[in-house]
Structure 1
Amino acid sequence: MALRVSRSLARAFLLAATCMTAAPAAAQDSSIEDRLARLERLVEGLVTRLDAQQGNIDAQQAETIAMTQQALADTRAMQVRQQELAAQIDAPKKQEDKGFRVGNTTVAYAGYVKMDAIAQRTSGGQLPTSAFTRDFLIPGAIPVGGTSSGWDQDFSARQSRFILKTATDVGAEHTLNSHIELDFMVTDGGDERVSNSCVPRMRQAFITYDNWLFGQAWSTFQDVGALPDSLDFIGTTPGTVFVRQPMIRYTRGGLQLAVEQSETTVTSRTGGRVVAGDDTLPDVVARYNLAGKRGSFTAAGILRNLRISNDDFGTGKQSALGYGLSLSGKINIGPKDDLRLMATAGKGLGRYIGINIVNDAALELAGDLDPIATWSGFAAYRHFWSGNLRSTVAGSYFKADNPVVLTGNLVTDESWNALANLIWSPVKPFDIGIEYMYAERTLEDGRSGNLQKVQLSTKYSF
């Protein structure tokens, strides 16, 4: 009798499990957990009943119980698979909320509209009117040795940005995407009297195919995720690796390997900058990313072949090795606060740090290249006062070991800056903020100049 009961229960269980797994995924979402719980209780009851009747379970009854338990495991596996399929279906739908679909390609867009109102003064000279050096901090452009300026004001919407993305369905085994990004910074434009127009520029344009990236993107040597939450375009510029350039990059898990555009900047014997354009080997970057609940960490190394030829200096072909290491990350503190850090050191890294504060190398008297050593870094702490009110305080530092005999003493020896801001988000995609920044640049001859800036910004992200 017990055996007949157990087999009946097993058949009932298997029938219920089969019907449940065959039902549409949408119909299962609200009740599948309840059904599985009832079936689990059914198995437990079966075992208990058999134990009570005979005190043990014979081979046939054990087989029956094993069948029901296997059916339960299969049902659980089917549930996981259906959830995965639902997620795959949902992802394109989320993209289509911001775009549209053409054939097998989903086209999506993003970006923001930003207005900056800036008042700034410089102690060592006047920044040229309408120049992009007045739009955001460029440490190497802080005037030194001149007459102090007054508080100059500028209004600009040049940082506004538009991003177009595509994702094409090429089958389950491959992914194919593209990314094109435009803004209006550092470009020619109309005058401030009438039009205030700006020419758009390409920031990024790349293709990703499976683990490969081809095109222009942020350098693999730079950790964009560590940048501070600032109103200034970069914020901690003196201590920041900041480069976008064409590359080929391979990513597998946390490991990234890339070959990127090379470009050697050299300080001539008169102290001027020469961009030789004679490079024959790409810059090579290796990077590893770690991420977890406590935050993220990145370590990146770079090797460069710095090179010039006789059409620049009349010295014949010369080359030197450049190299560097950058460590960066974001540490989560509490539910929302975070600490962002970066430290970078090396030789021949000039154009990668602080928007090319110093050059990669100097030209020796014999015509050889002498790579310039640099050290830099920043720290930024972001604190949420409430759900829609936050602040960031940050500071950065840069130091160069210039061979003064070769470069002269009018090149930048060190630069640093500090900032603090308050940003209010009345609704999630809209920010209103105010920021104060102080920055300083010191030359090898000991003279220095500073910049003070107060910036009011509004930003609507979409």
Structure 2
Amino acid sequence: MNYRNTLLALAVSSGLSAAPAAYAVDLGTFNDTSFSIGGYFKAEGIFEDVENGDSRFFGRANQSRFNLKTVTKKQGHTVVGFVEGDFYGGDYPGEDNDWRLRHAFIKIDNATVGQTWTGQFWAVAHTDYLDFLGGPRGTLAGLNFRTTLASYEFQGLRFTAQDPVYTDADIPDLAVNYNLNLDGGHKLILTASGREVDNGDFVAGGAIGTRVMMGRHSLNLNAHHGDGLGAFTGVGVNGSLSGDVENGEAVSQTGFNVGFRYVFNDQWRANVAYTAVEVDDQADTDYEGHRINLIHNIIPELEVGVEWRKYNLAFGPLIPEGQQVEVMAKYSF
């Protein structure tokens, strides 16, 4: 997998939801194929108080995105096509506003091919967050990059083979998820991950994610352990996509994330989350992240929010060590 630089890798994190599109506008049907468009406009202002540097305030709208979806039902098969882009491309994501491909995949019944979420991304029970770049850091959705892959879903199981993070790997990166949806909205996700790392070893790790519903509220818990997982959590040696090797040896890590979502009513909700990762390395890359936010839906399609977060490690200039306060407005269509 080739990335121009670490900054571009940062710009592949997710937004408030793992779903490709929350809303869509139907365009009609032609020759047994239905067409729809979706996406959202998002504007945000961020005050940044970093540990080593000057505080600043800045605004951006790069997260805004558009997608086109097609669905064809013919001869007993359902074929879905999906393409989506945002404005986090360019050499300096977050400052440049170049168009960037996020998703481009075909789903034929239960099989998916193309560019979309990694199998590791689906390991996580997500809590709402406003921080598009650093929100899920420390979980297996920490970098949340999309990659070229092939996956197949069967009775709650998802098997994924994907473009390897280590560019000289001889085999694809692999992931197996088991998703159990229980009555009342409860959820359990079990994940096994395997990949070849920079020293040529094939290493493995695992994760568990769960969502416990408490009436309208929910408690989300995630934990992971193993080697080769730093490429997905964003935490590890050198803070890089392939930084899972130190002194020629694979680096292991153990992490957990807990988030609570409190729903006041149909218009107001709040989230609080804490993440900690312990890395078995000499570079001292143990990580802690804190987050609390408040989100208000003016109408179902339009929401505004404010979030405070604090990270103890920097990961490039877009995710600094220190504190940030973000205010945002997001209009989905």
Same fold by TM (over 0.5)? yes
Residue 211 of structure 1 aligns with which residue?
A: 110
2:50 counterpart of 1:169: no
- 1:32-73 CA-partner distances (Å, limit 9, x unpaired): xxxxxxxxxxxxxxxxxxxxxxxxxxxxxxxxxxxxxxxxxx
Change in CA separation of 1:279 and 1:240 when aligned onto 2, cut-off 3 Å: closer
Residue 320 of structure 1 aligns with which residue?
A: 201
- Pairwise CA RMSD: 2.4
Residue 153 of structure 2 aligns with which residue?
A: 251
Q: 3-state DSSP class of the match of 2:292?
A: strand
Alpha-carbon distance in 1 for matches of 2:311, 2:187: 28
Please tell me whether the aligned partners of residues 123 and 208 of structure 2 are also in contact (alpha carbons under 8 angstroms): no
How far 1:354 sits from its partner (Å)? 2.5
For structure 2, which runs of at least 5 residues remain unmatched after alignment? 1-22, 315-319
Alpha-carbon distance in 1 for matches of 2:124, 2:34: 26
Change in CA separation of 1:386 and 1:211 when aligned onto 2, cut-off 3 Å: closer
Letter in 2 for 1:415: Y
Residue 235 of structure 1 aligns with which residue?
A: 135
Alpha-carbon distance in 2 for matches of 1:198, 1:189: 9
5 Å-filtered alignment, 1:255-404, equals 255-264=157-166, 277-294=167-184, 295-307=186-198, 319-334=200-215, 336-354=216-234, 357=239, 359-364=243-248, 370-402=249-281, 404=282
Alpha-carbon distance in 1 for matches of 2:253, 2:24: 46
Of structures 1 and 2, the larger Rg is shown by 1
Alpha-carbon distance in 1 for matches of 2:100, 2:156: 31
Residue 118 of structure 1 aligns with which residue?
A: 46
For structure 1, which runs of at least 5 residues remain unmatched after alignment? 1-94, 126-148, 265-276, 308-317, 365-369, 405-410, 443-448
Residue 60 of structure 2 aligns with which residue?
A: 156
Change in CA separation of 1:355 and 1:165 when aligned onto 2, cut-off 3 Å: farther
Residue 454 of structure 1 aligns with which residue?
A: 325
- 1:400-436 CA-partner distances (Å, limit 9, x unpaired): 111x3xxxxxx34211111111111111111111111
Alpha-carbon distance in 2 for matches of 1:349, 1:169: 38
5 Å-filtered alignment, 1:24-35, equals none
Residue 304 of structure 2 aligns with which residue?
A: 432
Alpha-carbon distance in 2 for matches of 1:124, 1:351: 25
Aligned residues: 299
Please tell me whether the aligned partners of residues 147 and 162 of structure 2 are also in contact (alpha carbons under 8 angstroms): yes
Please tell me whether the aligned partners of residues 325 and 344 of structure 1 are also in contact (alpha carbons under 8 angstroms): yes
- 1:296-331 CA-partner distances (Å, limit 9, x unpaired): 111010121225xxxxxxxxxx52121110111222
Letter in 1 for 2:40: Y
Please tell me whether the aligned partners of residues 223 and 328 of structure 1 are also in contact (alpha carbons under 8 angstroms): no
- 1:67-90 CA-partner distances (Å, limit 9, x unpaired): xxxxxxxxxxxxxxxxxxxxxxxx
5 Å-filtered alignment, 1:137-156, equals 149-150=54-55, 152-156=56-60
Query: Greater share of helix residues, 1 or 2?
Result: 1
Q: 3-state DSSP class of the match of 1:226?
A: coil
The percent of aligned pairs where both chains have the same amino acid is 25
Alpha-carbon distance in 2 for matches of 1:250, 1:355: 28
Alpha-carbon distance in 2 for matches of 1:380, 1:288: 21
Please tell me whether the aligned partners of residues 189 and 197 of structure 1 are also in contact (alpha carbons under 8 angstroms): yes
Please tell me whether the aligned partners of residues 123 and 191 of structure 2 are also in contact (alpha carbons under 8 angstroms): no
Please tell me whether the aligned partners of residues 169 and 200 of structure 2 are also in contact (alpha carbons under 8 angstroms): no
Residue 85 of structure 1 aligns with which residue?
A: none
How far 1:164 sits from its partner (Å)? 1.1
Please tell me whether the aligned partners of residues 214 and 247 of structure 1 are also in contact (alpha carbons under 8 angstroms): yes
Change in CA separation of 1:363 and 1:102 when aligned onto 2, cut-off 3 Å: farther
Q: 3-state DSSP class of the match of 1:227?
A: coil
How far 1:355 sits from its partner (Å)? 6.7
Letter in 2 for 1:320: D
Residue 272 of structure 1 aligns with which residue?
A: none
How far 1:450 sits from its partner (Å)? 3.6
Alpha-carbon distance in 1 for matches of 2:33, 2:115: 22
Residue 179 of structure 1 aligns with which residue?
A: 82
Alpha-carbon distance in 1 for matches of 2:253, 2:85: 31
Residue 29 of structure 2 aligns with which residue?
A: 101
Normalised by the size of structure 1, how large is the TM-score? Answer: 0.61
Alpha-carbon distance in 1 for matches of 2:161, 2:303: 37
Alpha-carbon distance in 1 for matches of 2:123, 2:41: 20
How far 1:263 sits from its partner (Å)? 2.0
Please tell me whether the aligned partners of residues 291 and 297 of structure 1 are also in contact (alpha carbons under 8 angstroms): yes
